[in-house]
Amino acid sequence: MAQQVSIYDTTLRDGTQGEGFSLSGFDKMRIAQRLDEFGVSYIEGGWPGSNPKDIEFFNEAKAIPWKNARIVAFGSTRRVGVKVGEDPQVALLLEAETPTVTIYGKSWAMHVTEVLRTTEEENCAMIYDTVKFLKEAGKEVFYDAEHFFDGYKNSPDYALRTIKEAAQAGADGIILCDTNGGMLPKDISQVCSDVRVALGATPFGIHSHDDCGLGVANAIAAVEAGASQVQGTMNGYGERTGNCNLTSVMPILQLKMGISVISELEKLKELSYFIDDVSNNVQYSRAPFVGKSAFAHKGGTHVNAVKKLAESYEHIRPELVGNTQQILVSELAGQANILIAAEKIGLPLEKGSEETKNVLQEVKRKENEGYSYEAANGSLELLMRQTLGSYKKPWNTKEYHCSYRESHEMEKPISEATVKITVEGQPEYTVAEGSGVVNALDKALRKALVSFYPDIAKIKLVDYKVRIIESSDATASKTRVLIVHTDGELNWGTVGVSDSIIEASWIALCEGIDLYIQKSAAL
What's phi and psi for 446, nearest 5 deg?
-60, -40
SS3 label, residue 279? coil
pLDDT in the model for residue 338: 77
Q: Tens of pLDDT along 457-504? A: 999 998 888 888 765 555 557 898 989 899 988 889 899 999 999 999
HEC profile of 227-251: CCEEEEEHHHCCCCCCECEHHHHHH
pLDDT in the model for residue 472: 52
Q: Tens of pLDDT along 437-457? A: 999 999 999 999 999 999 999
pLDDT of 201 over the 90 cut: yes
**Strand duo 414-423 + 426-434: pairing:** antiparallel
d(CA 170, CA 179): 24
**Closest to 462 in 3D by CA, of 442, 477, 476:** 442
pLDDT of 523 over the 60 cut: no
pLDDT in the model for residue 290: 93
Q: How confident is the model at residue 303 (pLDDT cuts 50, 70, 90)?
A: low
Percent of the chain with pLDDT strictly greater than 90: 64
pLDDT of 309 over the 90 cut: no
Asked if residues 18 and 46 have their Cβ atoms less than 8 Å apart, the reply is no
Q: How confident is the model at residue 343 (pLDDT cuts 50, 70, 90)?
A: confident
pLDDT of 329 over the 70 cut: no
Domains and CATH numbers, the chain: 6-263 (3.20.20.70), 296-369 (no CATH), 395-452 (3.30.160)
pLDDT of 217 over the 90 cut: yes
pLDDT in the model for residue 478: 87
Return the axis-axis angle of helices 156-168 and 185-199, rounded to nearest 10°: 50
pLDDT of 229 over the 70 cut: yes
pLDDT in the model for residue 374: 67
d(CA 449, CA 394): 9
Least confident interval from 43-57, 64-78, 116-130: 43-57
pLDDT in the model for residue 473: 54
- The helix (H) or strand (E) run that includes residue 143 is strand 140-146
pLDDT of 365 over the 60 cut: yes
Type of residue found at 390: S
Q: How confident is the model at residue 334 (pLDDT cuts 50, 70, 90)?
A: low
**Strand duo 491-498 + 396-405: pairing:** unpaired
d(CA 105, CA 331): 55
Number of other residues whose CB lies within 10 A of the CB of residue 181: 23
Task: Give the chain's mean pLDDT.
Answer: 90
d(CA 219, CA 206): 6
Percent of the chain with pLDDT strictly greater than 70: 93
Q: Which residue has the higher pLDDT, 402 or 340?
A: 402
SS3 label, residue 509? helix
Give the predicted TM-score (pTM) of the model. 0.69
Tell me which range, 32-41, 263-272, 320-329, is most confidently predicted by mean pLDDT.
32-41
The full DSSP string for 285-316 is: TT-TTTSTTTTEE-SHHHHHHHHH-GGGS-SS
pLDDT in the model for residue 347: 85
